[in-house]
């Protein structure tokens, strides 16, 4: 595995690729900038799937994240040019210098910035190189403060991808020009998440029989509503002792076990850390729940669960209702309403025929609107549109002069 040292804090994995004279002239040179080192979160998976999808369509893709051996090895295995940049803050000058070199070395046409820190760093680098087409991703619904609002409204930001209509509406309400915002749903790899995935392995691992009803939530953090779900499940298991709750992605399982014990869930509660077998976990579940109450865009585990034809219950906030049509592709409940959440889970348990029907309808909706293939195609089309407009503006500046 070769490393070419470029500057302090900046390394290129796999050496410098030479231009292929036979390469399709329609291919685009794109830098994806992800200012974190995690790999298994929903945001990171979206970046990786998009990078791979665009590369498969013949584009020259460069990827930069915070230094991480997993990202580096995955990129090397896929033949993706990779840089590990510190990106310790919005004013990290080492990363700005590194980005200047990346922009020049690869003659980048489009920068796709994921997260606000990436946007700020590339704007600083662009002061020295000229800013190529700059595209921002917006996947959360937290309110914009004054500083972040400027980062979206500046003319140097070409366009914004909102992962759902609800986030677009929030941005417009915050003063971001509507014409800059394009809704492209996050995607689910329907070749990896499909109804034929193994539904037995995770139940064997947890020691569950086919008669026991498994409710699963992917993601453990405050805004996910984990506490609400645990309280709701305490009610459910009091009426149906065969019901079990699984939480996946916990950094501190012991605190969750302690809370479960206080709620009387000890024998009906399971916790797992970060896992790569999410398709099998969701397929082996009887219901996937997202109890989030703020900050989300559209919860990825709902897409993934429906893709494997597992029923879902979700809170009716932000983008969730764009996927989960109440009574048609799943059940919706108000956020922070524990009794309503318990009733919805009980309803899925007590009416398996309707639950299967909603899950199948949800699977079709994912295939139509929320597949990774569809997302890659829509992003590629937007890239081409933005690059063409950028070239036209450059020609007009030349004709009109200073």
Total number of domains constituting the chain: 2
Domain residues for 269? Answer: 201-369
Q: Do 90 and 210 reside in the same domain of the chain? A: no
Q: Do 251 and 182 reside in the same domain of the chain? A: no
Q: Do 302 and 365 reside in the same domain of the chain? A: yes
On the CB side of 50, how many CA atoms lie within 13 Å of its CA? 26
Q: Do 327 and 381 reside in the same domain of the chain? A: no
Q: pLDDT tens track of the chain, all 402 residues?
A: 333 333 334 444 433 343 444 455 689 999 999 999 999 889 999 999 999 999 999 999 999 999 999 999 999 999 999 999 999 999 999 999 999 999 999 999 999 999 999 999 999 999 999 878 999 999 999 999 888 899 999 999 999 999 999 999 999 999 999 999 999 999 999 999 999 999 999 999 999 999 999 999 999 998 999 999 999 999 999 999 999 999 999 999 999 999 999 999 989 999 999 999 999 999 999 999 999 999 999 999 999 999 999 999 999 999 999 999 999 999 999 999 999 999 999 999 999 999 999 999 999 999 999 999 999 999 999 999 999 999 888 777 677 666
**In degrees rounded to 5, what are phi and psi of residue 76?**
-60, -40
Note whether residue 276 is domain-resident: yes
Is the pTM higher than 0.85? The answer reads: yes
Q: Do 216 and 110 reside in the same domain of the chain? A: no
Q: Do 281 and 363 reside in the same domain of the chain? A: yes
Q: Do 57 and 157 reside in the same domain of the chain? A: yes
Q: Which residues contact 81 (CB under 8 A, 6 or more apart)?
A: 12, 13, 14, 17, 60, 61, 62, 63, 75, 106
Q: Do 349 and 376 reside in the same domain of the chain? A: no
| CATH code (residue 163) | 3.40.50.2000
Please name which of 271, 246, 212, 237 lies closest in space to residue 342, comparing C-alpha atoms: 237
């Amino acid at each position: 595995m070769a490393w070419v040292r470029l500057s302090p804090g900046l390394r290129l994995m796999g050496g410098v690729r030479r231009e292929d004279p036979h390469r399709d002239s329609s291919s685009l040179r794109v830098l994806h900038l992800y200012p974190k080192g995690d790999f298994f979160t929903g945001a990171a998976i979206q970046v990786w799937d998009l990078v791979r999808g665009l590369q498969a369509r013949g584009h020259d893709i460069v990827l930069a994240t915070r230094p991480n051996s997993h990202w580096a090895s995955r990129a090397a295995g896929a033949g993706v040019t990779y840089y590990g940049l510190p990106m310790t803050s919005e004013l990290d000058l080492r990363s700005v210098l590194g980005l200047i070199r990346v922009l020049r070395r690869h003659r980048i046409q489009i920068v796709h910035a994921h997260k606000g820190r990436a946007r700020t760093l590339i704007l600083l680098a662009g002061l020295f190189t000229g800013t190529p087409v700059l595209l921002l991703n917006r996947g959360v619904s937290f309110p914009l403060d004054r500083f972040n609002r400027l980062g979206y409204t500046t003319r140097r930001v070409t366009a914004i991808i909102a992962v759902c209509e609800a986030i677009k509406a929030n941005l417009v309400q915050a003063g971001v020009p509507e014409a800059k915002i394009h809704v492209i749903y996050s995607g689910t790899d329907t070749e990896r998440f499909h109804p034929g995935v193994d539904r037995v392995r995770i139940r064997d691992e947890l020691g569950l029989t086919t008669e026991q009803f498994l409710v699963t939530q992917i993601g453990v953090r405050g805004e996910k509503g984990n506490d609400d779900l645990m309280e709701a499940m305490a009610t459910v298991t009091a009426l149906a002792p065969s019901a079990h709750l699984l939480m996946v992605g916990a950094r501190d399982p012991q605190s969750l076990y302690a809370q479960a014990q206080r709620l009387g869930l000890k024998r009906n509660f399971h916790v797992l850390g970060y896992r790569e077998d999410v398709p099998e976990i969701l397929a082996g579940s009887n219901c996937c729940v997202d109890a989030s109450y703020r900050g989300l865009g559209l919860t990825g585990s709902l897409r993934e669960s429906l893709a494997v034809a597992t029923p879902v219950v979700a809170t009716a906030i932000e983008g969730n209702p764009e996927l989960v049509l109440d009574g048609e592709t799943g059940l919706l409940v108000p956020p922070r309403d524990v009794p309503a959440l318990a009733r919805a889970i009980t309803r899925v348990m007590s009416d398996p025929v309707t639950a299967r029907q909603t899950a199948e309808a949800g699977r079709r909706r994912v295939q139509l609107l929320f597949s990774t293939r569809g997302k890659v195609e829509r992003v590629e089309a937007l890239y081409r549109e933005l690059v063409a407009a950028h070239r036209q503006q450059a020609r007009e500046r030349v004709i009109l002069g200073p």
